[in-house]
Structure 1
Amino acid sequence: MQEDFRLIVDLVSVLAAAAMGGVFASLLRQPAILGYLLGGTIVGPAGLGLIKELIQVETLAQFGVAFLLFALGVEFSLTKLKKVQWIALGGGAAQIILTILGTTAIALAIGWVNSAPQGIFLGGILSLSSTAVVLKCLMESNETETPHAQVMLGILVVQDLALGLMLAVLPALDREPEAIASAVGFALLQLLLFAIGAIALGIWVIPPVLRLLARTESRELFLLGVVTICLGIALLTEHLGLSIEMGAFVAGLTISEVEYADQTLTYVEPLRDIFAALFFAAVGMLIDPLFLWDNLELILGLVILVLVGKFAIVTPIVRAFGYPLKTALMVGAGLAQIGEFSFVLASAGQTLGLVSRRVYLLIVGTTALTLIVTPFLLRWVPQLLNWAENTAGWEILNLPELPKEVSIEGSLSNHVVVCGYGQMGRNLIQLLQSHHYSVVAIDQSEGAIRAAADAGLPYVYGNAASLHVLEKAGVSHCRGLAIALPDPMSTRLCLKRALELSPDLDIVALASQDRDIELLYQLGAREVVQPKFEASLELATHLLTGMGFPLPVLQRQVQQIRNRHYLDLRPETSAEQVSRDLRRATQEMNSRWYPIPQHSPLIGLTLEETDFRRLTGVSLMAIRRAGGLELDYPEPQTSIEEGDRLLVVGESEELVAFEQLTKGEATVPPASQSCQWIKIPPQSHVVGQQLWQLHIRRDYGIEIQAIRRDGKFIRFPGGGADLQAGDLVLLCGNYQNIHKVRQILAATEVLLPLAVPSSIENNFDGMVILTEDGKK
């Protein structure tokens, strides 16, 4: 067979194996990357041996990493890199140094290496994590905008930059210390000169080139030019002794600030996905199942040591930079593997005689297994942490995230809170201010907060999903709240916790994905906006109006589409897919299936009549009937039947309250009664008093169903419960009597019931002020 044709056959074999492996992994509901690795292992030299031109395939597979890093640079951008610059630079450097020092000490102590340079080399290999695998997993789960993902990617970028330094120092490891210092200095000089050149390209060269390509209005020419820029800069860095991957990432960064960045990303993504699959299959071809089996105990021990060791190093570093413990744990788990670039270091070290062939194979086997384990860790660790948050003995995970900085002066009321000061948040705030509404912005990006400060806008610097941050922004007494966060998980938590502070708050939320629309409505949003659908509606409105279609009729149709949650525009989704999306979303929150007990008072009531969210604080996501039928995102008119199982989301106290309600230990107010949340003002005379002292039930027939205090939910409080300033009290009963009790709770002086003649009862609220001297 001709050599050129042999390479084509090998490429087709690898891509076919990757495709079949990806389908197999998808059927098992596992990340596709595991299927790519498995496919490569099967067709590789240690498997069926179908691949003959392994070197050529591996060379082409480098395009996969290059395009992955290029797309990451375009999407990540310098602006996003600034958000995590301190943890990226300081934390990334600290992680590399500590990993090298720890590995050197352990390797020398147990005899894995004979000299310190060999230990340093081994530590350099273990210090690198997998940018490609972590990035692919985060993209598949749509988590690239989450705080833990941003920290991971920032540290990974620093690791990729350090790879060039390691490769430059590697030949001098077995020489005198002066030679090592000289090699480090020369490598740093190269990095500095390359950085200056990249900045110059990004300012003066690349923008005009992209504009020229765009003016041709040719998709082919634009794509060809972009690929040439990516691979050209990547080859330049390789020629300078740095890595192709670092060059591709820097090429992406230089394009990220140009107006054609989104267009570039759209064109490159198909190439990235194809070559990325080829790369992961090539990594799978390096796995030798027989060698793994013969050295299984040793390799498993090394895998556990790497996972635990890197987790133990990364987690405290992230925590030391002020990030929440939960974020630190997720970053530690996400970076607890050896990266694919370690193959490059290991191969170079074997050539220089720093490691033996057996140690090289052990490194390859350990690296491959950690790469296989990583997708599972990134999927299971968040679920484990969410479960642990509500388990006794894990309260440390619930430590509050306090605001880092607050610019609000005095007290605010009747204002609007906007969570997220990105472009969409800024536009919204500008429109609100044009109508003279006071606005408070919340963001956890230092750059966004500095922009808010420059604009003279009141802000809270912190995580919008934190109760304490929302409290500082005055959510409990604001007029409305808009959530414009890029991260779906943060959006859900922000919505849920805002309603904990103000259960009747008018909230509009941005849905970044179609599948989040119903979920956000079910969690309590009054309105959910999906940008793609809104753009379609506005385009259609403009065109149809221009063609003479009556505007009032068109506006009614558009509003009907919005009222139906964009169902007319959303692609048809199978019930199984909706159910899978719902499970995935609720697993990230505190959810539980509850069976409805026999003879429960809820049986026969509609969801509208039970009003779970107001009475208990939980959100009902699904109902599973006794016959197996499942109703996801049930309508308010849906009735509860005997044998139902209900999927609910809520905090621990809310779930306990819901269980009490299902068992009949608490009653649902009849439809003839009203329920309202009343806030206790600081100056109220009832502050510090216990409920039995107020005689609210005896005198007015009003039941106090619940008290919310500092994010805590006190369900069915007894007479010994006291009232504190800022408490939200749920009153249920006759509407007129609720109004009277509201006056009692808000009064600065004691209000007592007063017998009123029936002739004037309708014109008198039945209250009298009793002053300190006893006069009326």
Structure 2
Amino acid sequence: MAHSVALIHTIAAALGLALALGFFATWLRLPALVGYLLAGVVLGPFTPGFVADAGLASQLAEIGVMLLMFGVGLHFSLGDLLAVRKIAVPGAVVQMMVATALGMSLAIWWGWGLGGALVFGLALSVASTVVLLRALETLGILDTHTGRIAVGWLVVEDLAMVLVLVLLPPLAGWLGGTTQDVDGANLWKTLGWTLLQVGGFVALMLLVGRRLFPWVLWQVARTGSRELFTLCVVAAAVGIAFGSAALFGVSFALGAFFAGMVMRESEFSHRAAHESLPLRDAFAVLFFVSVGMLFNPAVLWDRPLQVLAVVGIIMVGKTLAAAGLVLAFRYPLNTALTVSASLAQIGEFSFILVALGASLGLLPPEAASLVLAGALISMALNPLLFHTIAPLQAWLLARSALARRLEQRDDPLAELPMSTDSRYLARQVVLVGYGRIGRRVASALIASDIPFVVAEQNRELVEALRADGVAAVFGDATDPAVLIQAHIARAAMVVIATPGTLDVRQIIDTAKTLNPAIETVVRSHSDEDARRLRQEWGSTVFVANDALAVAISQHVLERTQSRRSRPTAPAPLHERG
């Protein structure tokens, strides 16, 4: 009974205090994650007052890790990653190498061992997916190309960290941990066996799991029971994670990640994500609280310079490395600033890695507190960093010739090829954005043999379009130079298929300035925005919900009228009056 009471005390105190401090953090316009970590600090052994049971908290945290990684796998889209692979993959790998090298150099200078320095550097190199997604949603740029680059970058980091979590335990002895030391031959044997187990698990999940578990989910969904459906999703996440650890020696994190991946194959994946979200969020809170319990606030006054150095690597070193890499791939300055700001924090994978490194005897006691201090400070300052992007960009463009050259540099994809058919240069349609809506518009234009030019921020898409013989220019359509290259001055119409309202106004303003007679067609998600666009610019605006309602209504009316026009069979004799 005492054990049960301790469990209840731990859960009640953790959730209650996390709610209060999370609410206070959001009131200060900080991520709620900061409040959850502070709740753990208050409940931890390094602060006076009630101390939660650390053992129970760590077990609850393991469930939180499983559900967090299950959510990452459930939202992992290989297609989205492939769309930005040319920048996300090399960018994330190089940025992680730079941040890891900076962290290792700092730790070795402090006198730490090689293994501890490596784990410490890796912990500083990976950003929080949770913080990033919430920041991009708040700014309304999650569905933009810049947002997709940032998310793809984080997905690559997450995958790299999953690999690190798999390889670290067998390497711990060689790196100086407390596990049994191994010689070179045994080390390769251990690594080979570990990779073989992981490979067997991955093969089983991809070959069997991706067919079996969606089928199971379908059978449960057919019962119509919401409770059974939610139970099936959670049982799959926890069961696969536990089974992978018991049978294949794979970490809970990797097992849960692949559980989410195979569940994504089901047509009920969105419902699975929605149904499991409350439970996943609750246990994720317990995970962050348990991490906060490891933090010793004394590190802030005992090691202030070390804390400052850690924050510097996270918010300056990573930011500059990411910005330089994005600019090296010839993306606009705004994209570089947004992506670099997205990475200027650390989060859940850092905590998982630090906890694993401490359990393997690789990290000194102060390492967890230094990483947590860096996480708390970087998460608190990250929203402010996002708000400085626009004024910083304006300041740089006004005062720096280099910034202006970066914004307007020569790029072969930023102008139409000389071989472009002249029919595209007169009375054509300029199509801004080649996402889901833009593709359908382009297909309709091709079917009707109407010439058009695409303006798109995704370099890979522009390259693919040109390879298919479609006229396309790379760049942000809010930049007048991009619309000029799309020959907006001689176009009959501009179709803006991008979701951003502020960008839409800038694009229309530029288009009308260069071609006052041009017709503007815009998509919108809000009736209010649609009304303003019609009043201010005379645009033709399609609102998502309205267009859907019109399509459904038209289908219903057509079907109803067709049935009314059919001759009605006479009623059977026994039904006649």
CA distance in 2, matches of 1:180, 1:514: 63
CA distance in 2, matches of 1:390, 1:116: 43
Matched, 1:226 2:233: yes
Over 3 Å counting, the alpha-carbon distance change for 1:329 and 1:423 in structure 2 is closer
Give the aligned partner of residue 24 of structure 2: 24
TM-score by length of 2: 0.80
TM-score by length of 1: 0.61
Letter in 2 for 1:416: V
Do the aligned residues in 2 keep the contact of 1:173 with 1:180 (CA within 8 Å)?
A: no
Letter in 1 for 2:145: P
- Provide Cα deviations, 1:600-647, integer angstroms capped at 9, x if missing partner: xxxxxxxxxxxxxxxxxxxxxxxxxxxxxxxxxxxxxxxxxxxxxxxx
Instruction: State the 1:93 CA deviation.
Output: 2.2
* Mapping 1:94-109, distance limit 5 Å: 94-108=94-108
Give the aligned partner of residue 117 of structure 2: 119
Give the aligned partner of residue 331 of structure 2: 323
Do the aligned residues in 2 keep the contact of 1:495 with 1:525 (CA within 8 Å)?
A: no
Instruction: State the 1:7 CA deviation.
Output: 2.0
Do the aligned residues in 1 keep the contact of 2:337 with 2:389 (CA within 8 Å)?
A: no
CA distance in 1, matches of 2:527, 2:241: 37
Do the aligned residues in 1 keep the contact of 2:116 with 2:357 (CA within 8 Å)?
A: no
Letter in 2 for 1:404: L
* Mapping 1:230-379, distance limit 5 Å: 230-236=237-243, 238=245, 240=248, 242-256=250-264, 258-377=266-385, 379=386
CA distance in 1, matches of 2:530, 2:432: 18
Instruction: State the 1:450 CA deviation.
Output: 7.2
Give the aligned partner of residue 404 of structure 1: 413
Instruction: State the 1:481 CA deviation.
Output: 1.7
Query: Residue 495 of structure 2 aligns to a residue in which SS?
Result: strand
Do the aligned residues in 1 keep the contact of 2:525 with 2:543 (CA within 8 Å)?
A: yes
For CA contacts below 8 A with separation 6 or more, give which structure has more relative contact order.
Answer: 2
Stretches of structure 1 lacking an aligned partner (at least 5 in a row) = 549-776
Give the aligned partner of residue 519 of structure 2: 506
Percent identity at matched positions? 32
Matched, 1:37 2:50: no
User: How many pairs are equivalent?
Assistant: 545
CA distance in 2, matches of 1:543, 1:27: 47
CA distance in 1, matches of 2:535, 2:184: 64
| Structure 2 counterpart of 1:392, from 399, 406, 425 | 399
Instruction: State the 1:445 CA deviation.
Output: 4.2
Instruction: State the 1:63 CA deviation.
Output: 4.5
* Mapping 1:44-123, distance limit 5 Å: 44-47=44-47, 49-50=49-50, 52-108=52-108, 110-113=109-112, 115-123=113-121
Do the aligned residues in 1 keep the contact of 2:40 with 2:289 (CA within 8 Å)?
A: yes
Instruction: State the 1:57 CA deviation.
Output: 3.2
Over 3 Å counting, the alpha-carbon distance change for 1:76 and 1:290 in structure 2 is same
CA distance in 1, matches of 2:294, 2:128: 16
Give the aligned partner of residue 4 of structure 2: 4
Letter in 2 for 1:438: P
Instruction: State the 1:81 CA deviation.
Output: 0.8
Instruction: State the 1:293 CA deviation.
Output: 3.6
| Structure 1 counterpart of 2:496, from 471, 483, 487 | 483
Over 3 Å counting, the alpha-carbon distance change for 1:387 and 1:399 in structure 2 is closer
Do the aligned residues in 1 keep the contact of 2:43 with 2:52 (CA within 8 Å)?
A: no
CA distance in 2, matches of 1:185, 1:500: 64
Query: Residue 391 of structure 1 aligns to a residue in which SS?
Result: helix
Larger radius of gyration: 1
CA distance in 2, matches of 1:191, 1:468: 51
Letter in 1 for 2:306: L
Give the aligned partner of residue 436 of structure 2: 423
Query: Residue 418 of structure 1 aligns to a residue in which SS?
Result: strand
Instruction: State the 1:357 CA deviation.
Output: 1.8
Query: Residue 4 of structure 1 aligns to a residue in which SS?
Result: helix
Is the deviation greater in 346-355 or in 537-546? 537-546
CA distance in 1, matches of 2:476, 2:213: 36
CA distance in 2, matches of 1:184, 1:493: 55
Instruction: State the 1:85 CA deviation.
Output: 1.9
Over 3 Å counting, the alpha-carbon distance change for 1:231 and 1:319 in structure 2 is farther
Do the aligned residues in 2 keep the contact of 1:164 with 1:241 (CA within 8 Å)?
A: no
Is the deviation greater in 414-423 or in 500-509? 500-509
Instruction: State the 1:58 CA deviation.
Output: 4.1
Give the aligned partner of residue 165 of structure 1: 163
Query: Residue 141 of structure 2 aligns to a residue in which SS?
Result: coil
Instruction: State the 1:79 CA deviation.
Output: 1.0
CA distance in 1, matches of 2:58, 2:533: 45
Give the aligned partner of residue 547 of structure 2: 534
Query: Residue 316 of structure 1 aligns to a residue in which SS?
Result: helix
- Aligned alpha-carbon RMSD (Å): 3.8
Letter in 2 for 1:86: K
- Provide Cα deviations, 1:454-478, integer angstroms capped at 9, x if missing partner: 8764434554444343333322221
Over 3 Å counting, the alpha-carbon distance change for 1:234 and 1:300 in structure 2 is same
Over 3 Å counting, the alpha-carbon distance change for 1:104 and 1:391 in structure 2 is same
Do the aligned residues in 2 keep the contact of 1:417 with 1:475 (CA within 8 Å)?
A: yes
Letter in 2 for 1:501: L
CA distance in 2, matches of 1:236, 1:463: 48
Over 3 Å counting, the alpha-carbon distance change for 1:319 and 1:121 in structure 2 is same
CA distance in 2, matches of 1:180, 1:131: 33
Over 3 Å counting, the alpha-carbon distance change for 1:264 and 1:496 in structure 2 is farther
Query: Residue 52 of structure 1 aligns to a residue in which SS?
Result: coil
Matched, 1:209 2:189: no
CA distance in 1, matches of 2:425, 2:340: 39
| Structure 1 counterpart of 2:207, from 185, 200, 204 | 200
| Structure 2 counterpart of 1:469, from 479, 482, 491 | 482
Give the aligned partner of residue 573 of structure 2: none
Over 3 Å counting, the alpha-carbon distance change for 1:23 and 1:178 in structure 2 is same
Instruction: State the 1:479 CA deviation.
Output: 1.5
Do the aligned residues in 2 keep the contact of 1:414 with 1:478 (CA within 8 Å)?
A: yes
Letter in 2 for 1:426: R
CA distance in 2, matches of 1:87, 1:184: 30
Instruction: State the 1:80 CA deviation.
Output: 0.4
CA distance in 1, matches of 2:292, 2:518: 52
Stretches of structure 2 lacking an aligned partner (at least 5 in a row) = 562-577
- Provide Cα deviations, 1:423-480, integer angstroms capped at 9, x if missing partner: 3223223344455432333434467557756876443455444434333332222121
CA distance in 1, matches of 2:384, 2:265: 34
CA distance in 2, matches of 1:491, 1:241: 52
Instruction: State the 1:288 CA deviation.
Output: 3.2
Query: Residue 341 of structure 1 aligns to a residue in which SS?
Result: helix
CA distance in 2, matches of 1:42, 1:522: 54
| Structure 2 counterpart of 1:441, from 444, 454, 475 | 454
Instruction: State the 1:526 CA deviation.
Output: 0.9
Is the deviation greater in 275-284 or in 413-422? 275-284
CA distance in 2, matches of 1:435, 1:386: 41
Query: Residue 268 of structure 1 aligns to a residue in which SS?
Result: helix
| Structure 1 counterpart of 2:131, from 130, 133, 142 | 133
Instruction: State the 1:103 CA deviation.
Output: 3.3
Give the aligned partner of residue 606 of structure 1: none
Do the aligned residues in 2 keep the contact of 1:340 with 1:367 (CA within 8 Å)?
A: no
Over 3 Å counting, the alpha-carbon distance change for 1:12 and 1:112 in structure 2 is same
Instruction: State the 1:61 CA deviation.
Output: 4.0
Over 3 Å counting, the alpha-carbon distance change for 1:536 and 1:393 in structure 2 is same
